[in-house]
Amino acid sequence: MEQIIIHVDMDAFFASVETRDNPALRGKPLIIGALPGERGVVATCSYEARKYGIHSAMNIKEAYRLCPNGIYMRPDIDKYKAISNQLHEIWNTYASAAETIALDEAYLDVKELARDLDGARRIARTIKQRTRDELGLTCSVGVAYSKTAAKTASEEKKPDGYFEIPSAKDFVDLIIDRDVRVLHTVGEMTAEKLHAFGIRTVRDVQERQETVVRLLGKQGRWITRLAFGIDERKVTPYRPQDAKSIGREVTFQEDVNNYGLLKDVLVLLALCVEHRAKRHGLHGNGVTLKLTYFDMKGITRSRSVPDCDSADAIYQEAARLLDNVEKRPVRLVGVSIYNLSGEEGRQLTLEDYFAEARQQRNAEQKRLLTELQTRYRLDFAGHLDQIYQADTLHRTVEYMRKHS
């Protein structure tokens, strides 16, 4: 095997953590996400809840309709992040390269340490055992010759599963008569497009390669290669600067007509974006405003802004973009920065040479926060950093909405 890749995926991660911490939840349909009666979706759910047809990204109202007697909880993202760090520390021990996909998921290149399939099998079992013993959680692990095959393998025996796909032939034999969605990058819309032309299975892709390429272009060529088990992608460690953007958004529990309130919310979102960017030593070179209106129509507005690295600069540009959108009731508002660069790639500006300019920028940020505190009777003193936590941010925004 030219590559030996392990894909590790936690089983219902958020729900499993909560069940571990509160054994009384064990065996019950647990849904993590928004609460019934709120706007929002399911983040994840226990396997008991999945028996009711509930799944990630489902509207919370639909989940409640399917399972009114379920236990609904908001996610504790900070707790999950802390546990995720422990998980990845265990997993990365065995990899020459590790590609983090999410808090609970990663690809590991284990060829160097494993040497062969037997060695990879031992590593996979060790990872499962350590994850259980040290953190009280279960994971599903796939061992394979490629990234696509490794992910397919980890999903094959969930939960707490193990499966291996040693070769392209083994991969094709496994999936040949499955729906095209088993192939990497084939989502719901792509599958519907292929289905409309009678291409429903991997076998159909193999037999109608020209049609797939004509329909999907470059993606179609990739899909046809996958249908024959060809995936030469390497495990690539994630770097924050590789992200396309850094952003934060909030969904209101009731539609907002007050665009003054929206501007005030932009202050908090800009602070969150600045905090995350600084944590990774990144700067943006553009700002994007995102709105979803009451009828679910979404728009984005962007503008290039060199070295956008302060909450004040992010807010000012987002507020200008907001001034120029159609004024209709808003369901969701978000802010992000894009064209990211690290400290070493950042161009120096005159402001870098004058402390006075930075002080003025900080003073403007302080003024904005002071206005928020006065207008809504908020108190950020000593605990402004809590606003970076998703739950605190949403509670604060809802408080502002009710008192605007």
Is residue 170 a contact partner of residue 226, using CB atoms and an 8 Å limit?
no
In the predicted structure, residue 357 carries a pLDDT above the cut 80: no
Which residue type, as a one-letter code, is found at position 94? Y
In the predicted structure, residue 344 carries a pLDDT above the cut 50: no
DSSP string of 325-366? S----EEEEEEEEES-EEGGGPPP-GGGG-HHHHHHHHHHHH
End-to-end CA distance of the chain: give it in Å, rounded: 63
Residue-wise pLDDT for 87-131, tens only, equals 999 999 999 999 998 899 999 999 999 999 999 999 999 999 999
- d(CA 262, CA 366) in angstroms, rounded, equals 19
Q: Where are the beta strands (DSSP E) in 221-314?
A: 245-256, 282-293, 298-308
What is residue 241's predicted lDDT score, i.e. its pLDDT?
A: 62
All domains of the chain in start order, with CATH: 13-75 (3.40.1170.60), 172-227 (1.10.150.20), 240-402 (3.30.1490.100)
Q: Provide the β-strand partners of residue 286.
A: 304
What is residue 353's predicted lDDT score, i.e. its pLDDT?
A: 40
* pLDDT mean across residues, the chain: 91
- Given the structure tokens 């998921």, which residue do they identify? 105
Section 61-84 average pLDDT: 95
Which two structure tokens, joined as six digits, stand for 65? 């309709």
Catalytic machinery residues: 105
Section 358-383 average pLDDT: 78
- Distances in whole angstroms, Cα of residue 248 to Cα of each of 132, 289, 314: 33, 10, 12
What is residue 68's predicted lDDT score, i.e. its pLDDT?
A: 97
